[in-house]
Amino acid sequence: MSIRVVELFAGVGGFRIGFEGAPGTSSNNRFRIVWANQWEPSTKKQHAAEVYSARWGLSPDNERPTLFTSSSGQNDVFVNEDISTIEASEIPEHDLLCGGFPCQDYSVAKTLDKAKGLSGKKGVLWWEIHRIAEYHRPSYLLLENVDRLLKSPKGQRGRDFAVMLASLEDLNYVVEWRMVDASSYGFPQRRKRVFILAHGQGTPGHEALTKGGSPKYWMEEDGALARSLPILPNNDGEPTWFCLRENKNDDLADVSDNFNTGKGGKDPGSPFLGTGVMVNGKVWTSKTTPRDVKSTLTLGDILQDSERVADEFILTPESLNHERGWIYLKGAKRELRTGTDGFTYRYSEGPITFPDALDRASRTIITGEGGKGASRFKHVVKFRPTKEQVERMGLSSEGASLVREKIGLKLTEWVRRLTPIELERLNGFPDNHTEGVTDGKRAFFMGNALVCGIVSRIAESL
């Protein structure tokens, strides 16, 4: 029997690919997405939902066009609506709830009469996860977020994560987490994310940790994350431990108010390290050193052949030589600048690798990778253009020769941006998974996505 999965904040389906594989690859998976939700509040046109429904062959309902179902008759539902407007009872029973949610402010405050309810919840999407988990009590929650979640907000480091853990404790979950750099496990992108795995009552993890199991052994050897994403033992002794609540009866508002407030106005730093577990409100945490990976993909491994690269991705000599062009933006700077109020200040920054190194994993994909405009942070790679590309793009001109001299290119070499397919490959999506929208949107999707292979490894251990 398949493990039934509900996918929140689905984007273009990274979690789904991690659990089920690429669309159409199998119909007998151990995991099955039975209900998914995606909603982008800032745009009228729901591009991600269009991509998701197209890839998995889902069609809109005649009476409710924001609800999509499979024509194959399988229990496969996708809803393109604001999750806060959907009753938990509308979501089918499931074994695992997953989602990559935005990192926001999770502070909470008591209501005026100090009743059970909490007001001032700013991390809205986290509380939607909590609401659904409270109603359905799935066996597992697998969540993903940026690594700064472990140390936000500034001035009360780790408070947001502490509130999350405390709220999961209230639902009787035990939790393990891991800060993961995908390149440490053989993937071709240096992408750091926190993966949070909660185990409900009756699961092996919950039984092991609530009945005296060793937190250190769980973090390093026996836990689901330790098996899927192995790390070296921490030889510095036992993990650091502390309690989420100062007093046993503290509610979430008390955790929000009191957690890691520091002394003397100094930044106390976050107590949450790269790996850890939470059991009954007590936290154990330690540093993380991944085990060596024998085979690692590099940026060069995922590049398309030159003849498949469209001209729009090839940088022009003019855009490189421009006074505010690619070479300038990628280089070191030390210059006077004037602010909006007329204040003059000295600005300085070091150079960034240009072109990007092909013999190691890429830098983290950003949402702004798309578009022709010059940028300090977009990836630029060296390649050998075809004869036709040289002629069409003017790569034998005097300006092109000047570029080669400035950045050390051979006569047969030139530079270009990454294509949408290459961005997809860096996250482990099938080629052209995001086809059907603009290149800028495709890049935006990949900047927001996760590395599917990390999810696959965790799924294997579950």
Concatenate the DSSP letters of all residues of 349-381 into one string: E----SSPPSSSPBPPP-TT--SSS--SSS-EE
Please tell me whether residues 98 and 234 are part of one structural domain: yes
Please tell me whether residues 113 and 258 are part of one structural domain: yes
Which CATH number does the domain housing residue 168 bear? Answer: 3.40.50.150
DSSP 199: E
3-state helix, strand, coil in the chain (%, to 5): 30, 20, 45
Please tell me whether residues 253 and 222 are part of one structural domain: yes
Q: Tell me which H or E stretch contains 3.
A: strand 3-8
Please give the residue that has the higher pLDDT: either 71 or 174: 174
Please tell me whether residues 156 and 256 are part of one structural domain: yes
With cut-offs at 50, 70 and 90, classify the pLDDT of residue 115.
Answer: very low
Please tell me whether residues 67 and 213 are part of one structural domain: yes
* Residue 77 to residue 187: CA distance in whole angstroms: 31
CB atoms within 10 A of CB 82: 13
Please tell me whether residues 308 and 220 are part of one structural domain: no
Pairing of β 240-243 and β 275-279? unpaired
Rg (alpha carbons) of the chain, rounded to whole number: 24
Q: What is the pLDDT of residues 316-332, one digit of tens each?
A: 999 999 999 999 999 99
Q: What is the mean pLDDT of the chain?
A: 92
The torsion defined by the Cα of 212, 216, 222 and 223, in degrees rounded to 10, comes to 90
Kindly tell me if the per-residue pLDDT of 128 is higher than 80: yes
Mean pLDDT score, 9-23: 96
Please tell me whether residues 305 and 330 are part of one structural domain: yes
In terms of phi and psi (left: phi > 0; alpha: psi -120 to 50; beta: otherwise), the region of 436 is left
* Residue 142 to residue 459: CA distance in whole angstroms: 10
Please tell me whether residues 245 and 315 are part of one structural domain: no
What's the gap between Cα 134 and its chain centre?
24
Please tell me whether residues 280 and 310 are part of one structural domain: no
Q: How many Cα atoms within 13 Å fall on the side-chain side of residue 178?
A: 24
Backbone phi, psi, residue 454, to 5°: -65, -45
Mean pLDDT score, 394-400: 97
Residue length of the chain: 462
List Cβ neighbours of 237 (8 Å cut-off, separation of 6 or more). Answer: none
> Which residue in 197, 235, 243, 192 sits closest to 216, CA to CA?
235
Which CATH number does the domain housing residue 322 bear? Answer: 3.90.120.10
> Which residue in 62, 36, 31 sits closest to 48, CA to CA?
36
Kindly tell me if the per-residue pLDDT of 212 is higher than 90: no
Looking at the chain, the number of H-run helices and the number of E-run strands are 15, 18
Q: Specify the range with the lowest mean pLDDT, choosing from 191-195, 295-299, 311-315, 341-345.
A: 341-345
Mean pLDDT score, 187-206: 97
With cut-offs at 50, 70 and 90, classify the pLDDT of residue 267.
Answer: confident
List Cβ neighbours of 401 (8 Å cut-off, separation of 6 or more). Answer: none
- pLDDT for 28 equals 60
With cut-offs at 50, 70 and 90, classify the pLDDT of residue 345.
Answer: confident
- pLDDT for 106 equals 64
Q: What is the pLDDT of residues 232-253, one digit of tens each?
A: 998 878 899 999 999 989 999 9
Q: Model pTM?
A: 0.93
- The packing angle between helices 439-448 and 47-55, to 10°, is 80
Please tell me whether residues 61 and 26 are part of one structural domain: yes
Please tell me whether residues 217 and 319 are part of one structural domain: no
Active site residues: 103
Please tell me whether residues 196 and 92 are part of one structural domain: yes
Domain that holds residue 392: 299-448
When divided into structural domains, the chain yields a total of: 2
